[in-house]
Amino acid sequence: MPQDVIVRAPTREDFDAWSRLWAGYNAFYERKGPTAVPPEMTQLTWDRFFDAYEPMHALVADQGGKLVGLVHYLYHRNTVMRGPTCYLQDLFTDADLRGQGVGRALIETVYDRARAAGSPRVYWQTHETNTTAMKLYDKVATKSGFVVYRTDL
């Protein structure tokens, strides 16, 4: 990790900088047109991070006062484990910092937070074309072998 990057919880004042990263994440996954995330959903997502009753959490990577990465994660019950399972839902770093340890630092901080919450597992998914990220993921986790199916309702 670049030495001057600090992973921390966001503050309310980080909204504009977080929004820039969030927009980059959504652009990366080509969420536009009918699949675009509407502004009210962005605001709701942001507000959830500050609601103590929500299972959704966020961390940001701060480099010299500039946000350069984000990660969102949540906890849920599991039918085969006592503790809550941690799902790492979104991970994004500025394109010019990829491969420099920011993503790894965000993932490892989620691991630390999950351990502290009594979670026995952290898991996530990525698109099969996200080969750059998978180079990191192959170093910090194990492929589960599961295939994701879904239906939009």
pLDDT in tens, 93-129: 999 999 999 999 999 999 999 999 999 999 999 999 9
Residue 1 has pLDDT above 70, yes or no: no
Please, what are the domains in the chain? Answer: 5-140 (3.40.630.30)
**Is the distance from CB of 106 to CB of 69 less than 8 angstroms?**
yes
Nearest Cα to Cα of residue 58 among 28, 101, 21: 21
Nearest Cα to Cα of residue 97 among 109, 105, 86, 87: 105
Phi-psi region at 145: left, alpha or beta (left = phi > 0; alpha = psi -120 to 50): left
pLDDT at 2: 58
pLDDT at 36: 83
pLDDT in tens, 14-66: 999 999 999 999 988 888 777 788 999 999 999 999 999 999 999 999 999 99
Identify the residue whose tokens are 């991970």: 91
Phi-psi region at 78: left, alpha or beta (left = phi > 0; alpha = psi -120 to 50): beta
